[in-house]
Structure 1
Amino acid sequence: MPFLRERDDVFELFLGTEGVELDETNPENRFHPDWIATVSGLLDDVAAASNKKALVVTATGKFFTNGLDTDWIFGNADKLPSYLDSVHALYSKVLTLPVPTVAAINGHAFGAGAMLVECADYRIMRTERGFWSLPEAQLNMPFTRGMASLLRTKLSDVTATEAMLTSRRYGADDALAAGIVDETVDVAGLLDRARAVASERLPLASANLGVIKAGLRQPLLADLATLTPASLL
């Protein structure tokens, strides 16, 4: 399960399991309800820390995160609307954290995982391997109101339209050109660069930063707070 590590003035939130590259019970860091609850609790810990630290969100191995836990969904179809609402709540929590946030994208970020990337204040993607992609059109899955609003807010119209309607896979160079990420770096320097950006922004960490983020994203947060209707699915 995800875990938090402290390093100087930065928290590092790893989306996989400590001590191994991949968790055998969740090898793609998918959004299982327990995974969502764990990540949400760790974000609360970051926000509540008396000694404010910036946050880097990353993982190890092949995936940053492969998005929704489709195995769980197939076995719990009646719970899907509330499950998606919990995903939206996680996005809102990242979007409004009162500390600077940096996504260090170590591998594939697909679907809900790709959208999680966009919730960070700043995004850095490794150059050698990994794609950012929204496969929903290819998988015959709709975007919720909150997810569509997130993508419209954080991406240009050209990029959001292409990504949402074609399920294109963007490597690091293409993701940078499309404005999906802010910079790229080789994997050996990924965490160091993410920590550096986070540390540079640390003096801005405060309750006021969270208020500013909430004000900046008010329409998006309202959409994310809208309950998912069963009719969408």
Structure 2
Amino acid sequence: MPSLDRHGDVFVLSLAHADGVNPENRFHPEWIEQVHTLLDEAEASEGPAALVTVGGGKFYSNGLDTGYLFSHADSIPEYLDLVHTVYTRLLRFPMATVAAVQGHAFGAGAMLALCHDTSVMRADRGFFCLPEVNLGMPFTEGMSTLLAERLPSRTMIDAMTTGRRYGGADALEFGIVQAVAGEDELLSTAVAQAAERVSTRGANLTSIKDSIHVRTLAALSVPTAESTFSLGQ
């Protein structure tokens, strides 16, 4: 399951399963539950702090758990609402947040990276990609609003309508991430960025984030209607 470590005042949330289960860090309900539990743990701490998330192996996160989706087709809206809770939690988290995108970030996993205050992507390997257009999968209202808020307009349109894969250099050029780093420096770069912001922790930071993300948070809170998301349509 995902795990939580600490580097000084910076919490590092690993999205990966140490035992090799769910190697692509997909959004299985149990994975989502564990992520929330670990965020609770970080939030319950005292003193200055910030948060970094990182994946494992080849993947930061490969997005929705399609195996779970196909076996629970009657509860897709409820599942997507559950995915939205992770986005909402990070968007208004009371600490500075940095995504260390060390591998592929696809679909819902790409959107997860965008829910952080800033992000660092591996320069030489891994892609940011929204493949939904090629999979016949629409975006929920909350997802579309998130992408419109967090990406430059031209980048958002191209990413959503073409399924283009952005490597580190392209992701930086097109405003998807704010920095790139080599494999060996990626996590330390993200932790260093987070460490510079530990003093901002607190309710006031959440209040500021709420004002920044007001449209996205409102859209993510809208229950997913069954007509909004239909596989293969």
What TM-score range do you get, normalising by the shorter chain? over 0.9
In structure 1, give the amino acid aligned to 2:106. Answer: F
Once the two structures are TM-superposed, the CA of residue 179 in structure 1 deviates from its matched residue by: 0.2
Structure 2 match to 1:202:
198
- The structure 1 residue matched to 2:116, chosen from 114, 120, 130, is 120
- Structure 1 residues 23-67: Cα deviation after superposition (integer angstroms, max 9, x where no partner): 2x3110000000011111211222221234210000221000000
Structure 1 match to 2:9:
9
In structure 2, give the amino acid aligned to 1:35. Answer: W
Q: Could you tell me the TM-score, scaled by structure 1's length?
A: 0.96
- The structure 2 residue matched to 1:176, chosen from 164, 172, 177, is 172
In structure 1, give the amino acid aligned to 2:61. Answer: T
Give 3-state SS (helix, strand or coil) of 1:151's partner. Answer: helix
Between the aligned partners of 1:149 and 1:43, the Cα distance in structure 2 is 24
Equivalent runs, 1:1-233 vs 2, <5 Å: 1-18=1-18, 23=20, 25-232=21-228, 233=230
In structure 1, give the amino acid aligned to 2:212. Answer: L
How big is the alpha-carbon RMSD for the aligned residues of Structure 1 and Structure 2? 0.9
Contact 2:49 / 2:199 at 8 angstroms: preserved in 1? no
Between the aligned partners of 1:220 and 1:48, the Cα distance in structure 2 is 26
Between the aligned partners of 1:32 and 1:138, the Cα distance in structure 2 is 22
In structure 1, give the amino acid aligned to 2:17. Answer: T
Between the aligned partners of 1:51 and 1:16, the Cα distance in structure 2 is 27
Between the aligned partners of 1:40 and 1:52, the Cα distance in structure 2 is 20
Q: Is 36-45 or 187-196 further displaced after alignment?
A: 36-45
Between the aligned partners of 2:203 and 2:44, the Cα distance in structure 1 is 10
Which consecutive residues of structure 1, in runs of 5 or more, have no partner in the other structure? none
Q: Could you tell me the TM-score, scaled by structure 2's length?
A: 0.96
In structure 2, give the amino acid aligned to 1:17. Answer: H
Once the two structures are TM-superposed, the CA of residue 207 in structure 1 deviates from its matched residue by: 1.3
Contact 2:55 / 2:102 at 8 angstroms: preserved in 1? yes
Between the aligned partners of 1:146 and 1:43, the Cα distance in structure 2 is 21
Report runs of 4+ in structure 1 exceeding 2 Å deviation: none
Between the aligned partners of 2:80 and 2:44, the Cα distance in structure 1 is 25
Aligned length: 229
Identity %: 48
Give 3-state SS (helix, strand or coil) of 1:187's partner. Answer: coil
